[in-house]
C-alpha cells in the first residue's frame, strides 16, 4: 500500500477481549484533514456511532480510534462515558480537539468496554505512528475476518495525481460477536467535507450498501473517508462542491476502492463458498430493483440452493414475488450467466437443467432477473448459506 501524506497509523494488542491479539488502531491526521461518512441506520446504534454522527457535522478530523473485541453497543450511559473518555485521551495524545476524534468499535455487544485499556496505550501509539502501516491497521480492525481487506487506487484531479487507500473489516461474525462492517478510506486529495459527503453517500449505496451476507444490520456499521488535502501542495485544486466536474476521475477511483473492499467482504462471508452477483433490471425504479435484488440475495432458500449448486430458479421467482415491488410475472426472465433460464414467465424453451447444474459449479455466479415493468436496475452482491455459516454462528460459544 502506498503512503498517504498526512496519515500516520499505529496498532497494538490492548487486551480488549483476547490477550495478545492486535485489537487497537490509532490513526492520526495532519491539521486540515476533512471527513465525511455513512453510519448504520440501526435504531439501536452503538455509542461510538452516535459520537461519530454528532461530530461528522463539522467535518474536521485529526484522529481515529478503532478497537476490535468489544463493540461498546447496548452499554447504556457507561458506553457513552467510555467514548467520551477515549476521545479526551486521543485528543490529548494527538494534540487536537475532542470533536476532531472519531471512534469505531466492533466485537461483543452488551459488555462494558473499559476505556483504560485503550487510553493507556494512546500516547505511545501517537509517538510510534508510521505512514506505511496500512496492512497492520487492516489487521487490527478484524474480528472473524480470515484476511485483511485493503485496496488502493490513484486518480487525477485537474491533472494532479492523488492516492486513495482503503481498509475494511467484514461481516465476520462469531458468537456472541456481531456482523459489523467498518470501512476507512484515506486520501491526500483536497476535498472539503461537504463535497466529500456528496461523493461518499451514493458511492456507499452502490458498494458497501449493496452487499449482504445474511441481511442482518449491525449496530456499529461505520464508513469514514478522510482527506488530508496534502495534494494541494502539489497543485491539486481544493474542491468545495460535490458536482465539481474535476472530480470525475476521483469519483470513479473512490467507487473502485469501495467496491473492491465491499466485494472482499462478501468473499470473506462466514462459511461462504460461492460469490454471487444478483442483477435486477426492468424494475419500476432503481430503488425497487434494489429491493428485489436484496430479497433474492437474502432468501435462505435461494442461498442454500447456491450452496447446494442447485440451479433452483423457482426460488428466485419466489423471492421476486415476496419483495413486494411491481413485477410482471408473465414477462419475468432469468439468466444464470449467459444461460437463459426463464423468459415470458415460464421456463425458457431452450433451457436444460444440465446447463444450469453445470453453471452452478462455478465459484462466482452471476444471476440476472428482468421483472418486465420499467427501467430500474440494481446489483447486489452476496454469498451462499452453508453448513459453515451455521457452524460458525451456532456451534461455537465464546
Binders of a copy of itself among residues 140 to 179 (CB under 8 A) are 173, 175-176, 178-179
Of 54, 78, 234, 352, which one interacts with a copy of itself (CB under 8 A)? 78
| Minimum CB–partner distance for residue 333 and a copy of itself (Å) | 11
For residue 39, the minimal CB distance to a copy of itself (Å) is 12
Smallest distance, a copy of itself to C-beta of residue 76, A: 4
Which residue, 20 or 349, has its beta carbon nearer to a copy of itself?
Answer: 349
Q: Which of residues 17-46 bind a copy of itself (CB under 8 A)?
A: 40-45
| Inter-residue contact 48 to 25 (CB < 8 Å) | no
347 contacts a copy of itself (rule: CB under 8 A): yes
Does an H or E element contain 106, and which?
strand 101-108
| Torsion (CA) 365, 284, 315, 378 in degrees, nearest 10 | 20
Residues involved in catalysis? 180
List the beta bridge partners of residue 379.
Answer: 279
With CB under 8 A as the contact rule, the residue among 234, 324, 350, 363 that binds a copy of itself is: 324
Q: In 113-219, which residue ranges form alpha helices assigned H by DSSP?
A: 115-119, 122-128, 134-140, 193-206
Print burial letters for 217-248: b (CB count within 10 Å at least 16), e (below 16): bbbbbbbbbbbbbbbbeeebbbbeebebeebe
* Residue 117: CB minimum distance to a copy of itself, A: 19
| Binding residues among 181-240 for a copy of itself as defined by CB under 8 A | 214-219
Least distance from a copy of itself to the Cβ atom of residue 317, Å:
5
Minimum CB separation of residue 160 from a copy of itself in Å reads 42
d(CA 202, CA 200): 6
| Contacting range for a copy of itself; rule: CB under 8 A; set: 82-90, 120-128, 197-205, 328-336 | 328-336
Applying CB under 8 A, the site for a copy of itself has a residue count of 72
Q: Among 60, 88, 130, 312, which residue sits at the site for a copy of itself (rule: CB under 8 A)?
A: 312
Among 342, 378, 380, 383, contact with a copy of itself (rule: CB under 8 A): 342
Q: Do 151 and 136 touch, CB atoms closer than 8 A?
A: no
Single out the residue of 52, 138, 185, 307 in contact with a copy of itself (rule: CB under 8 A): 307
Distances (CA, A) of 284 to 99, 278, 334, 372: 43, 17, 17, 9
* Cα angle 97-103-105, degrees, rounded to a multiple of 5: 160
| Residue numbers 352-391 binding a copy of itself by CB under 8 A | 357, 384-387, 389-391
Task: Pick between residue 44 and residue 233 the one whose CB is nearest to a copy of itself.
Answer: 44
Beta strands in 211-370 (DSSP E): 211-212, 222-227, 275-283, 333-336, 339-343, 346-347, 364-370
Among 277, 327, 365, 367, binds a copy of itself (CB under 8 A): 327
Q: How far is the CB of 111 from a copy of itself (least distance, A)?
A: 7
CA-CA distance, 386 to 235, in Å (whole number)? Answer: 52
**238, 284, 344, 374: residue in contact with a copy of itself (rule CB under 8 A):** 344
Cβ 168 to a copy of itself, closest distance in Å? Answer: 19
Among 123, 314, 337, 374, binds a copy of itself (CB under 8 A): 314
Residue 285 as a binder of a copy of itself (CB under 8 A): the answer is: no
Q: Which three cell numbers stand for residue 354?
A: 444440465
The 10 Å Cβ neighbour count of residue 22 is: 16
Between 78 and 234, CB nearer to a copy of itself: 78
Closest to a copy of itself by CB, 11 or 106: 106
Among 313, 335, 336, 381, binds a copy of itself (CB under 8 A): 313
Residue 343 backbone zone (phi > 0: left; psi -120 to 50: alpha; other: beta): beta
**Do 165 and 187 contact (CB within 8 A), yes or no?**
yes
- Measured in Å, how far apart are the chain's first and last C-alpha atoms? 34
> Is residue 61 near a copy of itself by the rule CB under 8 A?
no
Q: Which residues pair with 365 in a beta bridge?
A: 276
Q: Which of 97, 326, 339, 366 binds a copy of itself (CB under 8 A)?
A: 326
Rounded CA separation 349/337 (Å)? 17
Amino acid at each position: 500500500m502506498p503512503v498517504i501524506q498526512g496519515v500516520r497509523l499505529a496498532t497494538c494488542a490492548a487486551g480488549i477481549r483476547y490477550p495478545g491479539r492486535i485489537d487497537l488502531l490509532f490513526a492520526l491526521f495532519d491539521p486540515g484533514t476533512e471527513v465525511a461518512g455513512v453510519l448504520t441506520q440501526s435504531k439501536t446504534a452503538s455509542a461510538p456511532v452516535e459520537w461519530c454522527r454528532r461530530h461528522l457535522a463539522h467535518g474536521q478530523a485529526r484522529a481515529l480510534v478503532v478497537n476490535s473485541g468489544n463493540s461498546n453497543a447496548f452499554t447504556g450511559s457507561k458506553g457513552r462515558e467510555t467514548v467520551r473518555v477515549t476521545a479526551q485521551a486521543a485528543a490529548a495524545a494527538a494534540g487536537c480537539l475532542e470533536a476532531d476524534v472519531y471512534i469505531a468499535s466492533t466485537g461483543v455487544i452488551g459488555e462494558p468496554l473499559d476505556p483504560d485499556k485503550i487510553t493507556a496505550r494512546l500516547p505511545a501509539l501517537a509517538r510510534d505512528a508510521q505512514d506505511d502501516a496500512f496492512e497492520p491497521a487492516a489487521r487490527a480492525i478484524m474480528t472473524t475476518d480470515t484476511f485483511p481487506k485493503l485496496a488502493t487506487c490513484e486518480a487525477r484531479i485537474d491533472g494532479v495525481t492523488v492516492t486513495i487507500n482503503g481498509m475494511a473489516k467484514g461481516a465476520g461474525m462469531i458468537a456472541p460477536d456481531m456482523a459489523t462492517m467498518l470501512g476507512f478510506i484515506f486520501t491526500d486529495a483536497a476535498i472539503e467535507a461537504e463535497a466529500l459527503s456528496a461523493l461518499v453517500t451514493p458511492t456507499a449505496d452502490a458498494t458497501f450498501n449493496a452487499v449482504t451476507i445474511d441481511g442482518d444490520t449491525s449496530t456499529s456499521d461505520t464508513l469514514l473517508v478522510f482527506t488530508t488535502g496534502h495534494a494541494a501542495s502539489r497543485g491539486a485544486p481544493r474542491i468545495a462542491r460535490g458536482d465539481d466536474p474535476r472530480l470525475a476521475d476521483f469519483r470513479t477511483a473512490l467507487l473502485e476502492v469501495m467496491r473492491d473492499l465491499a466485494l472482499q467482504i462478501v468473499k470473506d462471508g462466514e462459511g461462504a463458498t460461492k460469490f454471487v452477483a444478483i442483477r435486477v433490471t426492468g424494475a419500476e425504479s432503481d430503488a425497487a430493483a434494489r429491493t428485489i435484488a436484496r430479497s433474492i440475495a437474502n432468501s435462505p432458500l435461494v442461498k442454500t440452493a447456491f450452496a447446494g449448486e442447485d440451479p433452483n430458479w423457482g426460488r428466485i421467482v419466489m423471492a421476486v414475488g415476496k419483495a413486494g415491488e411491481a413485477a410482471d410475472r408473465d414477462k419475468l426472465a432469468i439468466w444464470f450467466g449467459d444461460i437463459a433460464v426463464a423468459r415470458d414467465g415460464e421456463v425458457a424453451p431452450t433451457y436444460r437443467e444440465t446447463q444450469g447444474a453445470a453453471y452452478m459449479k462455478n465459484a462466482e455466479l452471476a444471476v440476472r432477473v428482468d421483472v418486465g415493468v420499467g427501467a430500474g436496475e440494481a446489483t447486489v452482491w452476496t454469498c451462499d448459506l452453508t453448513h459453515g455459516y451455521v457452524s460458525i454462528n451456532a456451534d461455537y460459544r465464546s
